[in-house]
A and B are shown apart, each in its own frame.
Chain A
C-alpha cells in the first residue's frame, strides 16, 4: 500500500473563551475558596469527547490556560455553511443539509443535550456535502452558560422563548434549524443591516404572527420564492418556526418525515472515500494525541493567531483594593473579550514524522508471525520518560495496543506480554482493566448509588480532600463521579465497609476512565480482591497485622541491616505503612507517580506491593540508617520525593528473586489449595510477629534445589552426626551452638569462606529447632535473603522423589 504524498489538510481546530471569574475573595459555605469555573467546565465537557457520530464534530480536548481561559479542541474541516451559502444552494442540497442537521440534533437529544448556538457558522460541510455540527457542546459544558460571562447563541437564529429566558428545550434548536433552512431556501440573509437589539425586537414581535416563515419572506421581498418552495417542505419549515415551542416538531418527528424519506438516498450521509493518507484512517483522538507528541501546542497556535495575547501584568494592577476585597482598577482588557475565531491546528509536522511509516505499523497484524509487529524494538532500553514522549514509539505502541484491545479477552496473554515492556499512557485505562481481567457486562448501571447510607458523610468529607490538585478530580463532575463509584462499591460489597483511603484507591481508576465510570468501577472491583483481599472488612486488624508483619519479614529478607536498625529504634510499620498498603500508595503519591507504580503492580501478584514498600525504604536507606525514631517518623509523615523509576525497578527485582512462599500470607485470594509442602495455616500471626525471617516452603525449597541450585545455600543446623547420616546435597553443616551467637559476627561460626558462600544466594536455615534464633543472628550480621525451612529438616524426609543423600 502506498501513501499519496499529498499534503494533509487540517482536521483539528481550537476555539477559546474565558470562564467567569469568581469575584475577589468569595468563599463557599464551608469557608473554602470556590472551584474555578474553568475547572467546572473542564469536568462537564469530558462527556462530549464520547460523542462519535457522523454528523457531529468530535471533541478532543479541553485545556485550561491562565486567568480562567478555556480552550476547546475539536474536529474541524471542510467549509462552513456560512461560507457555502454565499452562492445559491439548490433545493435538494438544502433538504439534504436540513435532514443531516436533524440527524445531528436527534443524536444530541439521545444524550440529553441541546445546542442553543446553532447557526450556519457551526454547520460544516465536507467534500461529499455531509453535514457535521461544530461547537455544539458550548452550552452544555458551560452549564447553560452559567460559567461564562457572555450569552450563548447567535441572536439571529434564536427562538423567541429563549429571549424570555426559557432554556434546555430542544425545540429552541428546532427554531434555529428552521431559520437556517429558511435563509437557504429564500436565498437571502435575514435582517443583514439590523442591530442586534432590533433583531431581538423583531423576533419577539413574531409572537403575534401566525406564519413566521411567510412574514419573513414578505419582509424580505421573497414571497415569490417562498411560494415556489415544495409545499410539504414549506409547511415543515413553518412548523419549525411555530412561535409556540410545543407546536414545533421534535428531531425524531422530522427524522422520519416524508420530505426526507421519499428520497432518503439523496439526503443521507455519504460515506466519503477512504483517505489516502493512512494517518487519517486512525481515530482522530489518536491523531490529536500524536500531534501533541510531535510538538503540537494549542496555546502556541492560539498565540500565533493573536487569540492569546499577553499583556504586561502591571497594566492589570488594581488602583484600589477595598478591605472587603472589592477591586477598583483598569477594566479587563480587550483581550478578555469573547473572540469566536476558529484556529485550525496544522498537521504537517505530525504528517512528516509519520508518513514514512509502513502500513504494517499503522495496522499491525498480531497473529501472523510472518509480519512482525515489534516496530519499537530496541527502544525498550530507553528510559520510560523518553519512550513516553517519543512520537514514533507511542505511535507504534498505541496502534499495537488498539489492535490488541479489540481482540480482548482473546488477546489477554499478548496484552500482558506487551504491557510488561511498558504501557502507553494514552490507553492506560483500558489496558489496566484488561490486566485486571475486567469484562464489562453492564452491571454497574444496576447498582444503587443514590440511596442515602451511613457512610455518606465520610465519603462527602473525603472527596474534597482527594487528589484535588488534579483538574478533573477537583471538578464538580469529578466529585459526583467519585461519589457514585464509592457508593456503588460499598453497595456491591455488603461484607465490606468504607474505610478512609478507599477514595484515594478509587481516584486513579476514575482519573483514567473519567468517561467510562463502569470501567473505572469494574477495575476497582477487580483490583481490591487481587491486592487488598479483606482489607475492607469492618474488623480488618488480623489482615493488616499479618500484612505488616510480612512486610517486616521481607524487609529483613532483602535489607537486613535496615531491618535491624528499624527494629532497634522500634520504628514499626504500624506507624507509617498503613496508608501505604491500604491504598496501594495512592494516598501517598501524586497521580502521575501512581500511574507508573501501578503499571508494574498490575503485572504482579498480591505480594508485589510489599516489595514496593521495601523499595521505598531502600531509597531512603542512608537517611533512615542515620536517624533515630523521631527523624524516621517525620520523614514518612511528609514522604520525600521518591524516584519512581528506580523504585519500580527495585521492587521488580525483589519480586522476581523472592520465592513465592517467602511472601506467603494466609489472607489472600487463593486459586489453588495449599498442600502440606506449602506454608500451612498453622503458621499463625504470632509466629509471624515473633520470627524475624520468613519461612520458605518445602515445595519452593525443592524447586530451588532442582532448578536453581546456584541461587541457594542451605545451612543445616543439626549436629554433625545427624548431618553425616542424611543431608541435602551441597548443604553446609553449621551445628547450632548458642554461644556463637552472642555477637553479630559471622566468623564466630567458624566456617571458612562463609560470607562468600552466602553472598547473593537465598540462605535457607534448616533444623528441627533453633532455626529462628539462628536466622535472626544472620540478619543481624547483615546476611541478605535469609529464610527458614518451614516444618524443619524433617519435612524433607517425606518429599517424593527423595532429595536427600544418606550414608
Chain B
C-alpha cells in the first residue's frame, strides 16, 4: 500500500477543497482535534507530522493552533485539518468549539505522567458524550523515547483503549516513532466513500455552530 505524507503547511491549499469530480483521485478532508493535558506533546506531534520537525523548546499553546497535512492512501487523498488545542485545564471551555464537528480526535498523554493518562480518560469520556457519534478517537502515549522512566504501562493503556474502542499507539514526537502511523491509522478508519466529508466546505465552516456567529452565512461565490 503506497502511503506518503505530502508536505502540508499551507501549500496544499484550496484545490483539495473543491474536488468537483475534476480529479481522478478521491479527495477527502477531515477535521481532527488534538486533546490532552498540557505539555504532553500535542503541538510536538503535530509539528512532527506536518513538518517533520521537533523543537525541544516548543512554545506552549494558547487558545489553539491550526495546521493541515495531506496523506495518500491508495487512490485517496486525505487532507487533515488539525486543531491543536491548549492543554491547560482552564482553556477547557474553548475545547468544544474545536471538537464539535470533528471527525477524528487524538487524545494524548505522556507515558511518564500518570495524571496526564487520567486526564486523557476524561477527554475520551467527554468526546463520547459531546462529540459527533461517529468520531474516530486515537489514544497516543507520547514521549515513548523515555520508556525507561515510564509510569503508564503499555498494557494498561492498550487495554483501556480496547475497552473503549480507541486506536492506540505509543508515539514519540522526538524520534518520530509512530507519528505518521497514528495519523495513517486514523485516516484508514475514517469513512471515505460517502459524500459527507468531501463536499468542499472549508473546515472553518463547521465552527459555525458557536454562538458568536454574528451573521448568516455569506457563502463566498
Contact = CB atoms under 8 A, between A and B. Distances in A.
Interface string B98-136: 000000000000000000000000000000000000000
Contacts of A672: none
A466 B38 CA distance: 14
Contacts of B212: 545, 548-549, 572, 574, 689
A461 B208 contact: no
Interface residues of A, number: 51
Interface stretch (B85-93, B153-161, B188-196): B85-93
B145 A571 contact: no
B204 A629 contact: yes
A184 to B, nearest CB: 52
Interface in A18-48: 29-33
B207 A579 contact: no
Q: Which 8 pairs across A and B sit closest by C-beta, in order of nearness?
A: A629-B204, A461-B39, A578-B63, A468-B57, A579-B62, A634-B10, A633-B66, A568-B218
A570 B220 CA distance: 11
A652 to B, nearest CB: 26
B165 interface: no
B72 to A, nearest CB: 19
Given A628-B202, A630-B81, A501 B62 contact: yes
Contacts of A474: 57
A575 interface: yes
Nearest to B89: A458
B58 interface: yes
Contact of A570 (B87, B174, B207): B207
A57 to B, nearest CB: 35
Contact of A629 (B93, B205, B213): B205
A538 B59 CA distance: 22
B60 A570 contact: no
B24 interface: no
Given A499-B90, A567-B214, A629 B203 contact: yes
A575 B64 contact: yes
Given A570-B205, A570-B207, A628 B220 contact: yes
Contacts of A571: 204
Interface of B: 9-10, 13-14, 17, 38-39, 56-68, 81, 86-88, 90-91, 93-94, 97, 143, 145-146, 149, 174, 202-205, 207-208, 210, 212-215, 217-218, 220
Interface class of chain A by DSSP:
helix
A496 B78 CA distance: 44
B57 A587 contact: no
21 contacts: A31-B174, A33-B56, A458-B38, A458-B88, A462-B38, A465-B57, A500-B62, A500-B90, A501-B60, A568-B218, A570-B208, A575-B63, A575-B207, A582-B63, A629-B202, A629-B204, A630-B202, A630-B203, A634-B67, A637-B65, A689-B212
B59 to A, nearest CB: 5
A699 interface: no
A466 B60 CA distance: 8
Contact of B88 (A499, A545, A628): A499
A694 to B, nearest CB: 14
Contact of B145 (A31, A552, A635): A31
Nearest to B29: A630
Nearest to B143: A31
A227 interface: no
Contacts of A342: none
Contacts of A448: none
Contacts of B87: 500
A501 to B, nearest CB: 5
Interface string A569-595: 111101110110011000100000000
Interface in A731-751: none
A500 B59 CA distance: 11
Given A501-B62, A575-B66, A578-B63, A570 B56 contact: no
Chain A CB within 10 Å, residue with most, of B10, B94, B143, B203: B10
Given A31-B146, A570-B213, A500 B97 contact: no
Given A570-B207, A629-B205, A587 B59 contact: yes
A516 to B, nearest CB: 26
B62 A587 contact: yes
B90 A634 contact: no
Interface string A519-549: 0000000000000000000100100010011
A29 B143 CA distance: 12
Nearest to A688: B214
Contacts of B67: 634, 637
A30 B146 contact: yes
Contacts of B38: 458, 461-462, 500
B204 A630 contact: yes
